Structure 1
Amino acid sequence: MDNSTQTSPSRDVEALVEAAVEHHRAGRVEQAEPIYRQALAVDPTHWRASHNLGTILLRRGEAEAALPWLAAAAASEPEGTSPQAWLAHAQALIAAQRFEEAEAVVTARSADPRALMAEKRLRQAWGARLNREHKLPEAKAQLERALSLDPEDPDTNTDLGYLHLQMTDAAGAIPFLRKVLARTPDALAAVVNLASALRVQGQLEEAERLYRRALEIDPQSEAAVINLSVVLTAAGRTDEALTLAEHAFAQGKTGLGHLIRADALSHSGRDEEAITAYNAALAARPDLVRARYRRAFSRLKLGDFRRGWEDYEYRWLNPNFVSESAAVVLPQLIPHLETRLTGADLAGKRVLVVGEQGIGDQVMFASCIPDLARQADRVVLVCVSRLARLFRGSFPANVEVLEPREAKLSLSDFDHVFAIGSLGRLYRNEPEDFPSTPYLKPNPARVAEWAERLGPKTKRLRVGVSWRGGTKTTRGQQRSLTLANLEPVLGLSDCEFVNLQYGDVADEVEAFNEGRLNPIRLFPKADMDDFDDLAALVSNLDVVVSVQTALVHLCGAIGQECLTMLPRDPEWRYAPGGAAMYWYRSVRLLRQINDGEWEPVINAIADDLRARVA
């Protein structure tokens, strides 16, 4: 045989690889791939063929399939070449979410200038996965490491800003998002997230401006239009929200249009129409979680408790709720919350209950704790610090109450975990399920202390007053009054008035009291901040006059009579009409007839107080 006509296998492989590379460079990947595979069938260690085949698979989104080839290429890359296979190998590991292995590869190449960029991408991707797994502190640590490698990176700053929002730290989100927009003003995600952070902070005018800016950047942005409608309805500008709905319909976004319209109707007190619109939104877009969550409020307000509570459980899938109302429910706890069990499932079990939303919500839902304690073997309730002492003195022996700073707990210690608002679904499905007796107990020693501080009771009626409630994001302007508004009440000489308003109002009260023969009594703010102290003070009064705020819930929970002044469209828990409240028997409701008209309500309260001392 004439060996001069034979070619060596290595020359055959090189010829195949060169042919594949020619196709590859020309963009003919479909032709290149089988030739690389043919070459590797002859020589599985050929680093260039391994590298190029792995790269094709990686770019096609087949990271796991790419990994063996890229690992082989990295291991066999010839000395004297500029190392590149390791970088593709690291990229494939990141794409396959095998982050610990990627970290080892990148660390081993730390002297390579490209390692810094590779590590940044690794930390960003790792942080994103941890975020999806609700491991937010761990995600934050990864993103902070990415930021340390490139402090100006817009993606990392955007992700960190959104993460702070998820962790209910709107103030912490703002600097990251402003940094992005200082360099790239049209970065849509940063614009929307900054607007949301400002909305949570109560800076509604700037939030509105940014949501509108987001819609200029992308008129199709669903997040921007939904959140803009939230701002408008919270401000009582429902006509403008309805205009947004019409724009959505005009764009062919039927589900979104129905959702925005439903929210506007709900905030206008037209709850039956709102439910119809929410149903239409869900028929068009079953994925609209906000429609299901918001429908809960209309159903609950109308007394459809069973179906309302079912919808209410969708609150944990609504980003706005989580960023604004989670309270002591940490984001990483959310995946563990029970939303479908029945009361019977809790018999003899160890149950962790975690506070959510505002203090008034926690007081209201705490009415369910005695029901739970009768079924469960052990209950641990984690609530805001201001409620802990009052709760400890009120519930059965098998209920342990902890403040967040004390709650060093392991989920493995419990059979079930609930957010406190989910107890309504278990124990408040019919009107007769609501408590007819008080369930919180003021501390007798503190009651006596406050009796001494107030001094001997005279024939005058001792009346507690609170005139301001809510925030900008919870329609505080519609719920609140001024002391001057209350003059028909505060001018009654047969009444002794005691300040119960939360917050630092000393200057406001002292200015109002100047020159008055019957001033409002004012005690230090610190003496009333804890609800154990506040409950003791309230129990020494004859009656309380308040707008809708946590004080109303406290009065109802301890059985103190409370005359409650409501706007025309109050929160869902106050029902759509009537003087009674399902949750409390001692609370009497006095409602506006027309938006903003408080005078008839205030005059009715003045008449009530006069009748008591007549």
Structure 2
Amino acid sequence: MRQDATISSPLETALRHHRAGDLAAAERLYRAALRQRPRDSATHNLFGLCCYQRHDHAAATAALRRAVALHPAAEYCRNLGMALRAEGKLEEALAAYRRALASEPEAPETHFNTGNLLAQMRRPEEAILAFRAALRLRPTHGGSWHNLGAALIAAGRPGEAVEALRTGLEREPGQPKSLHNLGLALEQLRRWPDAIAAFRAALGLGGFQIESALHLGHCLIRMEDWRGAGEAFSVATGAAADKAEAWLGLGLARQAQGLLEEAHDAFTLAAHLRPDGWEAQYHLARLAGERHHFEEAEAAALRACALAPEEAQALTQLGNLLTATGMPERALDCYERAVAVAPEDEAARIGCARQRLMLGRLGAGWDLTSGRWRPEDQLYDEGLPLWDGQPLPEGRILIWREQGIGDEIMFASLLPELLAAGHRLSLLCDPRLRSVFARAFPTLAFHASGAPLGDLRAQIPMGDLPRLLRRDEAAFAQATQPYLRADAQLRAALRQRYDDGRPLVGLAWRSLNAASATPRSMTLADAMPLLADQRFRFVSLQYGDAAQIAAEAAGLPLLVDPQVDALSSAEDALAQVACMDCVVSIDNSTVHFAGALGVACHVMLPAVAEWRWMVGRADSPWYPSLHLSRQRRGESWREFSARVAPRLQNHAKKLRFGTRSACEK
């Protein structure tokens, strides 16, 4: 506040009351002074400031307009901008600030105020320029650094925001708002530990309890610190029990901790607090699906979709549930709606792709499979152009491996066709499969990840080959079957070692795929109805820890060969499968070895099987030697084994008992 050099004694008295904080007395005296000197700009300015401080913004604006009209000093224009901003007249306020800057361009406080106004108007890039101008003139002003950081966050420039906020905190430490904003910037940069530290510091100072706790919880979820996340969201619910987002976060943390009832209660309360919000219903659907409460899950998913009919996440979840409950056509409709509203949503695309493939709509399914890669999957992209299926005028085509060894084996069924067509191929495969593929495809070259590209001119992942070559089921007629061969000497040696005159039946009962093992794996106890048939000699084809497998099989009529390491040696696994008369297996890589070798195999699929086995089929176009059996809903694996056992017995009638040549093809 500046005082004009010619202020009269009554005005001095008003100013003294003003400075003492007696705003009511100051206002009366300013009015009296203005009656004596109605054209005194300084008095109008001081009176306007007094009204502003009393939150009478309309009176403040009127007085300050008069001050500016009488004398357009930069200070008066700046004060007018402040009053207009308080009245919500933002464009007029901006014009007043700019008029002040035109008169006094080197005033840091005016640049600072202009930046604050532009930030409020959601014009962050202009606000950044204003704050930087203020800092050029007053580089030690902590408030400018703090507010510059906030504007940089709003502009989507979190890296610069971190630098600005840390500088501001060096100038003015212990600012909870700036610590919170620092956490936001670090969160956007996915620097979870640093963001967690910033949010915790803000909470420790007693500021931004709700928002900092919410963001802290979400960062801790990213770090999979479920207990810490639960504590953070509990702080948020304690500070604001009516905030649905806090209960949603708490539900997620409790669900991850396995506290499903607490998670259900938290999601339910979130849904009550925000009845028009789809997120709580979505999470209730996911939780109920996890608990196999499918009717409840479907009802919640339907509510989520009704609340947000254009939300791909909700539509995809409903599709997942309909798939799990055996309604593939309805599921496909959900996935296709999700893809229509969010074409780039990978979960929707891959759900739709898998459902189309399951229903035999192969071409349309393969066209969406580019979204199949998960964040944890290693890609072997060498930066080459994607191969379009046309012959190359020169050089070779790099074909690189898929996520799992079973996928590699299945998609390798397309290689004979490509080689026969004259394409020059180099394969980047799992090292365990290199000798297997070299024997099967003698003209195939091999490439190692990171090796010089040499004559490679184009590339394609193995899983994209069906998009070119298997767009309908009729295209499978071109496939070479079988297309892999085991090492003949190793197969013969294993056969001789296992042969006791009975047909050999290989058994695999478990998947090691952490993401999907549970629904498609059984125990050896579950397999006892199969193992009870003493007309067969059962041999373990199960890969994994040898000691664990031997311990599981102890006392059971199942041979476990300690000299075979099917997990680390594809040659061992292939030869062992090849010397069997028949295989019984759950859905794991053993099935793919059997199919590629042409060995008869009974595949025991869960009620909801993978896309490759399609819907309701007992055969597979990928592997003619396979017979698919499907678990019924609610059926235990032991009951399922008892139902498959007679099929194995019927198969025995086709085998020659008591011969050493039963496996010869």
TM range (shorter): 0.7 to 0.9
Tell me if the contact between 1:351 and 1:378 (Cα under 8 Å) persists in the aligned partners: yes
Task: Indicate yes or no: 2:663 matched with 1:603.
Answer: no
1:55 matched to which residue of 2?
116
Counterpart amino acid of 1:67? I
1:462 matched to which residue of 2?
504
Task: Indicate yes or no: 2:605 matched with 1:553.
Answer: no
1:581 matched to which residue of 2?
620
CA displacement at 1:531 relative to structure 2? 4.8
1:204-603 correspondence runs (5 A): 215=271, 218-220=274-276, 222-226=278-282, 228-230=284-286, 232-233=288-289, 237-248=293-304, 251=307, 253=309, 262-276=319-333, 278-279=335-336, 290=347, 292-315=349-372, 322=374, 326-329=376-379, 342-344=388-390, 348=395, 351=398, 353=400, 355-356=402-403, 358-368=404-414, 379=426, 381=428, 383=430, 399-400=445-446, 407=449, 420-434=462-476, 435-443=479-487, 447=491, 450=494, 455=497, 457-469=499-511, 474=516, 476-477=518-519, 479-504=520-545, 510=551, 513-514=554-555, 519-524=557-562, 527-532=565-570, 533-592=572-631, 596=635, 597-598=639-640, 599-603=642-646
2-side partners of 1:609 and 1:219: how far apart?
Answer: 61
SS of the residue 2:195 aligns to: helix
1:319 matched to which residue of 2?
none
2:170 matched to which residue of 1?
111
Find the partner of 1:87 among 146, 171, 176: 146
1-side partners of 2:482 and 2:391: how far apart?
Answer: 27
Find the partner of 1:12 among 67, 70, 73: 73
Tell me if the contact between 2:214 and 2:246 (Cα under 8 Å) persists in the aligned partners: no
2:137 matched to which residue of 1?
76
Whose Rg is larger?
Answer: 2
**TM-score scaled by structure 1?**
0.74
1:181 matched to which residue of 2?
233
1:145 matched to which residue of 2?
194
CA displacement at 1:367 relative to structure 2? 3.3
Find the partner of 2:96 among 21, 26, 35: 35
Q: Deviations over 1:554-584 (max 9, x none)?
A: 2212333212123454333223234321111
Tell me if the contact between 1:241 and 1:260 (Cα under 8 Å) persists in the aligned partners: no
Aligned in 2, Cα 1:11/1:259: closer, same or farther, shift over 3 Å?
closer
Between stretches 566-575 and 288-297, larger displacement belongs to 288-297
Counterpart amino acid of 1:363? I
CA displacement at 1:465 relative to structure 2? 0.6
Tell me if the contact between 1:565 and 1:589 (Cα under 8 Å) persists in the aligned partners: yes
Larger RCO of the pair (alpha carbons < 8 Å, separation 6+):
1
CA displacement at 1:538 relative to structure 2? 1.7
Tell me if the contact between 1:192 and 1:223 (Cα under 8 Å) persists in the aligned partners: no
CA displacement at 1:464 relative to structure 2? 0.8
Tell me if the contact between 2:179 and 2:199 (Cα under 8 Å) persists in the aligned partners: no
CA displacement at 1:541 relative to structure 2? 2.0
Unaligned runs of 5+ in 1: 131-138, 165-171, 317-321
1-side partners of 2:454 and 2:260: how far apart?
Answer: 42
SS of the residue 1:111 aligns to: helix
Tell me if the contact between 1:328 and 1:354 (Cα under 8 Å) persists in the aligned partners: no
Aligned in 2, Cα 1:359/1:176: closer, same or farther, shift over 3 Å?
farther
Aligned in 2, Cα 1:410/1:30: closer, same or farther, shift over 3 Å?
farther
Tell me if the contact between 1:328 and 1:382 (Cα under 8 Å) persists in the aligned partners: no
SS of the residue 2:181 aligns to: helix
1-side partners of 2:493 and 2:179: how far apart?
Answer: 62
Counterpart amino acid of 1:528? A
Tell me if the contact between 2:301 and 2:318 (Cα under 8 Å) persists in the aligned partners: yes
Aligned in 2, Cα 1:367/1:328: closer, same or farther, shift over 3 Å?
farther
Tell me if the contact between 1:215 and 1:224 (Cα under 8 Å) persists in the aligned partners: yes
Q: Deviations over 1:519-564 (max 9, x none)?
A: 2112349822225132232222222111222321222123332121
Find the partner of 1:121 among 181, 184, 194: 181
Tell me if the contact between 2:161 and 2:185 (Cα under 8 Å) persists in the aligned partners: no
Tell me if the contact between 1:20 and 1:33 (Cα under 8 Å) persists in the aligned partners: yes
Tell me if the contact between 2:332 and 2:352 (Cα under 8 Å) persists in the aligned partners: yes
Between stretches 52-61 and 344-353, larger displacement belongs to 344-353
SS of the residue 1:84 aligns to: helix
Counterpart amino acid of 2:645? I
1-side partners of 2:263 and 2:465: how far apart?
Answer: 34
Counterpart amino acid of 2:99? Q
Aligned in 2, Cα 1:238/1:111: closer, same or farther, shift over 3 Å?
closer
SS of the residue 1:463 aligns to: strand
2-side partners of 1:410 and 1:73: how far apart?
Answer: 54
SS of the residue 2:125 aligns to: helix
Q: Deviations over 1:445-474 (max 9, x none)?
A: 7546645xx616342111111234487964
Between stretches 412-421 and 595-604, larger displacement belongs to 412-421
2-side partners of 1:207 and 1:249: how far apart?
Answer: 21
Between stretches 487-496 and 208-217, larger displacement belongs to 208-217
Unaligned runs of 5+ in 2: 1-5, 7-38, 43-67, 202-211, 238-244, 658-665
1-side partners of 2:462 and 2:619: how far apart?
Answer: 24
Percent identical pairs in the alignment equals 26
2:15 matched to which residue of 1?
none
Tell me if the contact between 2:587 and 2:604 (Cα under 8 Å) persists in the aligned partners: yes
Between stretches 372-381 and 305-314, larger displacement belongs to 372-381
CA displacement at 1:292 relative to structure 2? 4.8
Tell me if the contact between 1:392 and 1:401 (Cα under 8 Å) persists in the aligned partners: no
CA displacement at 1:269 relative to structure 2? 3.4
1-side partners of 2:356 and 2:568: how far apart?
Answer: 33
SS of the residue 2:464 aligns to: helix
